[in-house]
Chains A and B, each alone.
Chain A
Amino acid sequence: MSVDDTGRSDRPTQEITVTVNGESVTAEVEPRLKLSDFLRSHMELRTVRVGCEQGVCGACTVEFDGTVAKSCMLYAVQADGREVTTVEALSEDGDLHPIQEAFHEEHALQCGFCTSGFLMATRELLAENPDPDRDVIEGALADNICRCTGYQNIYDAVETAADKLEGE
């Protein structure tokens, strides 16, 4: 079956098996299907948001085999045999992840469209550097665009998240 919900099979497809948020998924996909579209339309993962399809805005950022990647810049077939993690995996049993809590407390989002990407970028940053200074944060957020917040509260949220994670 193809992922476009049409059931048509006239175009060539390829079988892939991907671990998405800890669950193994097998699907028939067109080779040209972007990973972002696979995650959104096939897996119904809404936190993967498509803002530019040019690899600039970072709204579609996911964790791909342990490092953050822009899912609009990958094809679904490249995820065959790989692991993908999205923001859906962060909150457990309805409880927000400390990074999500920090974004909430610091008003680090307004329209929310870009926020998933920032959450994933922050998650990777704090895993590598639990106590980053402003310059380090600036560098870690360089692949993500937010048009609403002017980034000020996002810096605060990353610092607050670092404190929360340190206290855990």
Chain B
Amino acid sequence: MSIETEDPSEIDPAEILGSAIERREDPALITGDAEYTDDIQIPRMTHMAVKRSQHAHARIEDVDTSEAEAMDGVVDVFTAEDIDVPGSLPVGWLLETLEQVDHPILAGEKVRYQGDGVAIVVAEDRYTAQDALDAIDVEYERLDAVTDPSDALNGGPEIHDDAADNVAFEWEIGNADETEEAFEEAAHTVDLEVENQLLIPNAMEPRAAVADYNPSDNQIDLAMTTQNPHVHRLLMAGVIDHPENKLSIRAPDVGGGFGSKIHHYADEALTAWAAKQVERPVKWVATRSETYQTDALGRGHETHGQVAMDEDGNITGLKVDTKANLGAYLSTFAPSIPTYLYGTLLSGQYEIPAIHCEVTGAFTNVPPVDAYRGAGRPEASYIVERLVKHAAEHMDMDPAEFRRQNFVPGDAFPYETPVAMVYDSGDYEKTLDRALEMLDYEEFRERQEAAREEGRYLGVGFSAYIEACGIAPSELVGQLGAQAGLWESSLVRFQPSGTVTAYLGTSGHGQGHDTTYSQILASELGLDIEDIDIVEGDTDEIPQGMGTYGSRSAAVGGSALVQSARKVVEKAKKIAAHQLEASEDDIEFEDGEFRVAGAPDRSMHIQDVAGAAYLAHDMPDDVEPGLEASSFYDPENFVFPFGMHAAIVEVDPDTGEIDFETYVAVDDVGNQINPKIVEGQIHGGVAQGVGQALYEGAEYDENGQLLTGSMQDYTVPKAMHVPEMETDSTVTESPHNPLGVKGVGEAGTIAAPQAIVNAVVDALEPFGVENIEMPLKEERVWRAIHENGGDA
């Protein structure tokens, strides 16, 4: 079933786009040649550690650092009082009703979640820094804590003076009147209350930073775990009041991110600031416990969803009311996640005439909540697909056919939804049909019936997901509140000998960009992949960039790369025409060769053109020497990948145990640059979705103490937890970008949870089970079975 890889050196450049070649980045990563942030050693380097609050909500009465400062090997200790810069973390997305609150890099008056920083120690080594943390004495006046968004909104303890009732914002999308009317006229309505639990992203590499400060030219060099070095530079320059052009940020090898390394946290800014104070290099590396306390969480929704239908089961209206947990402060892009990345996706794959969604963002005493793989779109897909399952059951219709009946038809694209999106292209029946075929669906329903008679409970669950990625058209997101443009930039530069380096503003951290970008460029320029070098993740080398998240790198970064490559070819064509003494109109470019039309023996390879361009002895008039081009690509629209995931499970009614029989993923991510990388993204995404459905969840006690504080307690899925997957794909090109690509980084995580929950609910239908909250731990499943007496 799995895709065979090919050796890139054996593939012709004309064939390389779309080939499942081996990854170019692997040799360094599987030997000792990779360099992650913690691998960096600089002479005279010191180590920073952060004193964190053990309370989730408390007033700081006193911080005594005297004992720590006196310790051997301690270089310096700093508290909020020492911070002589603005030191407040910014919010990159504003909403009309948003209450902006101060988010200090060290808390001075109050701590608002367990893990909020109150002091930092800089010491000669990491062990001493940790010892010194224990010697810092902080006196607190404890306050009541709240971790649940509804509780926070309904009379919970006040977390910020400026945010009455803990309301961060109130937001709506869609048409309330039309939706109300649809419900009044409906022949049938169904509703569900669901939770989408808080998740901890769990990149395998903990966050880390190494800062080196040179006082004589006021230069800070910062290496850090980042998905977007240029964005971090812009924001941090403000936070620590340092000129942007004297702050260089580099992403060494980065060990996964899943969103958690997009945001601007306090720790990395403190590392840079501290290096400036002590005038020595400073390293900070989070322990896993710290990542559990401080990495921005994902999801955290409590939602009431309602569907209106006519008598034939056509969906006529959808109403959604969500309380979104934002945690203790507003993280970098937090306001956009439960709003524009959520409410806009509520039409799913369906033609729904009227939709209305209201979201209230709540401050609570958990770590800040922001983008985690999927970011808003999994929450949207979850409520839509759970409601659709519920509605089909209510109508006594087959869930696959209920979906088919309500799909946006294949000839309706571009399709404008009632929630402000225009879907680029799609063919939803195709992925449904392929999934049904892979499941052997009709045969399964017979088996299911036979099994029930034997007291065995099998179920099938579908997830017809859609997502918006390729983030994003700058003007549009500007209107919606983004404080940044979301274009991407690239620079393609030939060297005189004919090799090429491409610089991109995206910043990969496991996605295989070195491989896929090389494939794009080899195809555009007709070069061997060996002649291409890709550079990402360094503000000193790359002119500008917005980074890697929101499944944007291929659609936006890849398009920026194509745009620069085509500018290079255009210039090279002028030079080639001059060299070949032909009119530019007569020159054709194919497979790296410029040829004079009708005279195939008169040709010049682009690598020789590069040589001529730098030699510059014989250039056409008005053409500058050199061969390079840069561009900023701003997408016209989002792109909309889609697909059908389906699971078949068996539930043991005596124990609540869930066994996978099959997991099927049929995805349409547009054209595929490297199908093996696409497949790998689906595998990994589904595994995280399985984690959410069955195992994962950040749990806090009533005092806001994290109960799932280790990878064991939290249950990051291991090999035995993840089912074997059958994957396949269809290809519906996006018309909006030159590659026809859509995006695949988040698809699996968006699709999987509801496929699994729907399957379990389907299996337990004889017990009258209509909903079980994730994660579907055995006890929860058992309780759901027994809630109605436990009789099938």
Provide the bound-state CA to CA distance between A115 and B512, in Å. 15
Chain A residues in 8 Å Cβ range of B72: 8, 10
| A150 near B686: Cβ-Cβ < 8 Å | yes
Q: Is the CB of B127 within 8 A of A149?
A: no
Given contacts A4-B125, A153-B2, A145 and B255 within 8 Å (CB-CB): no
- How would residues 14 to 25 of chain B score, 1 for a CB under 8 Å from any chain A CB and 0 otherwise? 000000001101
Question: Can you list, as one digit per residue, whether each of A141-168 has a CB less than 8 Å from chain B (1) or not (0)?
Answer: 1101111111111111000000000000
CB pair B256–A147 under 8 Å, yes or no, is yes
> In the assembly, what is the distance between CA of A145 and CA of B711, in Å?
9
Could you tell me if A52 and B722 are in contact, using CB atoms closer than 8 angstroms? no
Q: Which residues of B693-725 are within 8 A (CB) of A?
A: 710-712, 716-720, 722, 724-725
Is the Cβ of B677 less than 8 Å from the Cβ of A107? yes
Q: Which of A37, A44, A138, A146 contacts B720 (CB 8 A)?
A: A138
Partner of B710, one of A45, A54, A155: A54
B interface, size bucket: 35 or more
The answer to whether B724 touches A107 (Cβ under 8 A) is no
Q: Which residue of A lies closest to B288 (CB)?
A: A52
A105 in the interface (beta carbon within 8 A): yes
Q: Is the CB of B39 within 8 A of A46?
A: yes
Bound-state CA distance A67–B31 (Å) is 20
Complex CA–CA separation, A4 to B127 (angstroms): 8
Question: Is chain B's binding surface mostly helix, strand, loop or mixed?
Answer: loop
C-alpha gap A45/B33 in the complex (Å) = 10
Q: Are A104 and B27 in contact (CB under 8 A)?
A: yes
Is there a chain B Cβ closer than 8 Å to A112's Cβ?
A: yes
A142 to B720 CA separation, bound complex (whole angstroms): 7
Give the CA-CA distance A110 to B716 in the complex, in Å. 17
| Residue B206 is within 8 A (CB to CB) of chain A in the complex | yes
Stretch at the interface among B132-140, B197-205, B470-478: B197-205
A: contact size bracket: 35 or more
Contact with A along B337-357 (1 / 0, CB 8 A): 000000000000000000000
Contact (Cβ within 8 A) A51 B30: no
A54 touches B511 (CB 8 A): no
B23 near A107 (CB under 8 angstroms)? yes
Residues of B near A52 (CB, < 8 A) are 288, 710-711
Whether a CB of chain A sits under 8 angstroms from the CB of B258 is: yes
B32 touches A96 (CB 8 A): no
* Docked complex Cα distance between A146 and B258 (Å): 13
Known pairs A110-B512, A115-B29, A153-B680; A147 contacts B688 (CB<8 A): yes
From known contacts A56-B710, A141-B718, infer whether A112 and B30 are also in contact, taking CB-CB under 8 Å: yes
Per the bound structure, the CA–CA distance linking A155 and B1 in Å amounts to 13
Chain B residues 655-700 with CB under 8 Å of chain A are 676-677, 679-680, 683-688
21 sample A-B contacts, Cβ–Cβ < 8 Å, listed by A number: A8-B72, A8-B73, A32-B127, A51-B255, A57-B288, A57-B716, A100-B31, A104-B27, A107-B22, A107-B680, A109-B30, A110-B511, A111-B509, A112-B29, A112-B30, A115-B30, A142-B719, A149-B687, A150-B687, A150-B688, A151-B719
5 closest Cβ contacts across the A-B interface? Answer: A112-B29, A113-B255, A111-B510, A150-B687, A4-B125
Given pairs A57-B288, A134-B724, 5 additional interface contacts (CB within 8 A): A88-B31, A104-B27, A112-B29, A113-B256, A147-B716
